[in-house]
Structure 1
Amino acid sequence: MTNTPSVMESQLSVFSPDQARQEWNRVAAENPEVSRTHSALVDHLGLSSAAELSDPQHFGTSGTFKLSSAVPVPQEVANPPAQEVLTIESSLTVQSHTAQDQQVAECVASLVGSPAGLRVDRVFTLSTTSDQFVSGVKEHVTGSSGQLVTVDGWWDALKSCLSSSDCGGQCITAALTCPPATWAVYLACLAGRCGLCVVKCAACATCDCTWWCRIGAGCCNN
């Protein structure tokens, strides 16, 4: 019988604004989908150019989950990796802007399973207004036509995770009372008041119950 691994050690952190800015620049340079989504966001907002966006603010988290043993590969996996997954690394990097009455965030959420080299990258946007900051959030990804399309997924999974028994009341209260200034300000407040649950839940929302990351990051059923 195969033993199910557990998280033996975890290192979770929230970036400083300067660290988050540097990480955003690195991620944007490596992933062409970031630029594509940025252009689609400008069009979606009805702006003539990106210069009409406010100066960006940044937020970011990172997490490393070291497992007690390798993740078993399910029999249904058609092309199993040549190497095992012993460590799962997560990251969330956000660049936020104000555009007219909209608060918008460009987001890159990633998970890497090492040493197998398995990877999940999610590039998406979040938009809302200051008067309906939590209840009015819309999530978009860039469709095949180059335009933003509405999806349900990462944000809903994050909220569900933050309201779970493991995180509980302090996260719910923070989500409802953190200042609806910009996404970077809001998320920094959420992380400050909710603790590292934000880092864990960001990883969980990114994993989407995929077999190799769910043991370390969790399964949020998004």
Structure 2
Amino acid sequence: MVLLSPSIRGLRKLVAICESYAAEHGLKYNVKKTVTMVFRSGRGPGTIPGVFLDGDLLERVERFRYLGHIVTEGLVDNEDVERERRALAVRCNMFARRFAKCSDQVKVTLFRAYCLCFCTCQLWVNSTRRAVTNIRVQYNNAYRILMKLPRYCSASDMFARSRVPDFFAIMRSRIATFWSRLRASDNEILSTLAEGLDCSIFKHYLSVQREANRK
């Protein structure tokens, strides 16, 4: 469960509501697994008051992994991009070792099934070009290693021949699908945010499109 508030005072009120609900229904929160994070707006105050749950001060963290996505207090997604890059490298190296003697068709099927899903990539709205380049290069090299292709062969050509989407095609598809779901959401807050031209997801899609055109 996540509680969001624009102020510490508001957050304390939300925590108090949770405490009351838990007491009335015989529940108990695990304080050791509960943390707080501050997303600063501008410079912000120098000292941030603590938040207490059942009388215990909650730990304040700078990063937290929520539903698989690494969230940081600076709202920068480089760490999550690197998480997915490493996961991709592990999967592809395992396939290259275990299925080295399989046919190309089997290898392409495995690659499609396990290497085309960049978990939460549609949320990478604030990452550096270097971080994105690193995972793109990892994706291209992973396919070359699995298929035993020369290291410097054309990425666009090898993906076109096997009818496997390249990195940017995957990103565009994931972002567009997510954006479409937000716009069609029954939640008025989500749909309203998604409809605006300043929507961060829409800007993310445009940045991916521009980067693809450069390549």
TM-score of the pair, normalised by structure 1: 0.24
Q: Which has the higher strand share?
A: 1
Q: Which has the higher helix share?
A: 2
- Greater relative CO (CA pairs within 8 A, separation 6+): 1
TM-score of the pair, normalised by structure 2: 0.24
